[in-house]
């Protein structure tokens, strides 16, 4: 076993796994385009205060899981790897004055996030998210659009049976009274709470509701419900979100304990699970409204809503469901030849086919024709182009490796012949579109 290994909690995506991630990225990009969310990028690291002020200092993500970068002596700024995309996107929205564009600004971001969490199945220190945000519209129709978009992603990605959990956590006008009710509920049990939870009873009691500690889960079951404490405006918003979801025929389950792990949320929160699975680690994705975040990061009060879907967990779920899409990457044709030494000739013919947009490989090993043909079949190629003596008169042999048939074609016509043959074999995936 080599002594150099990928860091704990990270994984290499070998080509067959990267192909699955590529499939998910294509599904996400296609949906983002259709729904009008334009792709953008932010740096993989930001000033720590973007996350401290945005996500909240008293959250697992900032307190325990932030990958802080050692400060360089020559610079004052302290940076951390991004644990999520929303805070950075809102920072960019403010920095580039996107408030002056027609609102809402709808964006999509695909990429790796970093959290220094205890690694386990489905929980990594580097993981991929598809994030979408719509900034500048108070909803509630937009809330429904976003939830429906998330649900459609799973379906289009090949994962059926994904359930939507929905809640509202109110806003600064109704949440304080609820938080007091929550404190009153937990306080008599303070002595028996685990240390982290006991501290949070004072600092951030909402977080007690999604604690993973078994004792807490039991206590939370009897806790007062936020939905009973919503102010008139938040209650009306929540009702309207539900009406819009009903109108779209989107089924969901209300879950009053869905408070989410980041501080910026207001009103609508939601998470996606495979049916029958729940609990923090298994969420396939989640999001919500964050009407206070723009202001937290220094802008004027501006509403926003978005989600992030965990692509690693979708990959795992597809694998468990036996629904991993075919790897792809097989060449349509491999150019082989009777003269083992004629590698330049084979390479030149393959290069010509590639220039025509076809997925072609040349056998560049100096070995007998039989071995070259074996290699072509092992690669999953549909056709072998066999270069022999007839090349003198401008001809090559085109062998259909699946049908076992072979015919002579003009080298000049090879690309057109291959394209036609590929189409009639429905071999479209091997051809670049
Ligand atoms: P989040 O719930 O922290 O929300 O993460 C969203 C999803 O990312 C999770 O449901 C999960 O699928 C995946 N995920 C999170 N941590 C890990 C991990 N350590 N390993 C693997 N997958 C993970 C956010 O990040 C918010 N920014 C979502 C949002 C966007 N809210 C509004 N806009």
CB of 172 within 8 A of CB of 187? no
More confident residue, 372 or 209: 372
42: Cβ below 6 Å to ligand 1?
no
Q: How many helices (H) and strands (E) does the chain have?
A: 14, 15
Instruction: Give the confidence band of 431 by pLDDT, cuts at 50, 70, 90.
Output: very low
pLDDT at 327 over 80: no
Q: What pLDDT shows up at residue 44?
A: 98
Interval between CA 94 and ligand 1 midpoint (Å): 23
314: Cβ below 6 Å to ligand 1?
no
The residue whose C-alpha atom lies closest to atom 18 belonging to ligand 1 is 123
Chain centre distance of CA 63: 24
pLDDT at 432 over 80: no
Q: 140-182, pLDDT tens digit by residue?
A: 999 999 999 999 999 999 998 999 999 999 999 999 999 999 9
pLDDT at 425 over 70: no
285: Cβ below 6 Å to ligand 1?
yes
Distances 376 to 129, 130, 329, 357, 381 between C-alpha atoms, Å: 37, 37, 13, 19, 6
Beta strands, E only, 145-235? 162-168
The residue whose C-alpha atom lies closest to atom 25 belonging to ligand 1 is 84
Q: Is the model's pTM score more than 0.85?
A: yes
More confident residue, 274 or 263: 274
Q: Which two tokens stand for residue 237?
A: 């918003």
pLDDT at 328 over 80: no
pLDDT at 376 over 50: yes
Instruction: Give the confidence band of 287 by pLDDT, cuts at 50, 70, 90.
Output: very high
Q: What is the sign, positive or negative, of the torsion defined by CA atoms of 169, 173, 177, 183?
A: positive
Instruction: Give the confidence band of 430 by pLDDT, cuts at 50, 70, 90.
Output: very low
């Amino acid at each position: 076993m080599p002594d150099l290994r990928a860091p704990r909690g990270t994984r290499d995506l070998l080509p067959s796994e990267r192909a699955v991630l590529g499939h998910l990225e294509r599904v996400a990009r296609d949906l983002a385009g259709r729904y009008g969310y334009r792709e953008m990028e932010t740096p993989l690291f930001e000033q720590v205060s973007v996350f401290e002020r945005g996500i909240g200092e008293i959250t697992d993500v900032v307190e325990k899981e932030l990958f802080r970068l050692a400060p360089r002596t020559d610079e004052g700024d302290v940076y951390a790897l991004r644990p999520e995309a929303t805070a950075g996107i809102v920072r960019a929205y403010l920095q580039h004055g996107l408030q002056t564009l027609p609102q809402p600004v709808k964006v999509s971001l695909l990429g790796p996030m970093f959290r220094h969490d205890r690694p386990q199945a489905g929980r990594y220190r580097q993981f991929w998210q598809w994030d979408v945000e719509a900034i500048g519209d108070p909803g509630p129709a937009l809330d429904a659009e976003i939830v429906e978009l998330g649900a459609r992603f799973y379906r289009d990605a090949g994962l059926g049976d994904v359930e939507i959990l929905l809640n509202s956590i109110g806003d600064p006008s109704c949440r304080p009274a609820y938080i007091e009710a929550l404190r009153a509920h937990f306080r008599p049990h303070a002595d028996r709470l685990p240390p982290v939870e006991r501290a949070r009873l004072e600092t951030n009691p909402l977080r007690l509701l999604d604690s993973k500690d078994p004792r807490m889960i039991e206590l939370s079951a009897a806790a007062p419900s936020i939905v009973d404490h919503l102010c008139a405006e938040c209650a009306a918003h929540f009702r309207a979100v539900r009406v819009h979801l009903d109108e779209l025929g989107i089924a969901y389950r209300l879950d009053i304990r869905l408070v989410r792990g980041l501080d910026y949320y207001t009103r609508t929160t939601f998470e996606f699970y495979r049916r029958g699975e729940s609990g923090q680690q298994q969420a396939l994705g989640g999001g919500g409204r964050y009407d206070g975040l723009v202001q937290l990061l220094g802008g004027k009060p501006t509403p926003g809503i978005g989600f992030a879907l965990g692509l690693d967990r979708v990959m795992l779920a597809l694998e468990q469901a036996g629904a991993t899409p075919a790897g792809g990457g097989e060449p349509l044709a491999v150019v082989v030849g009777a003269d083992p030494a004629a590698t330049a000739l084979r390479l030149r013919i393959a290069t010509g086919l590639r220039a025509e947009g076809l997925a072609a490989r040349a056998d560049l090993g100096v070995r007998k024709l039989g071995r070259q043909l074996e290699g072509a079949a092992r690669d999953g190629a549909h056709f072998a182009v066999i270069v022999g003596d007839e090349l003198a008169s401008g001809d090559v042999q085109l062998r259909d490796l699946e049908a076992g048939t072979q015919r002579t074609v003009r080298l000049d016509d090879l690309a057109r012949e291959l394209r036609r043959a590929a189409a009639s074999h429905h071999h479209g995936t091997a051809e670049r579109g």
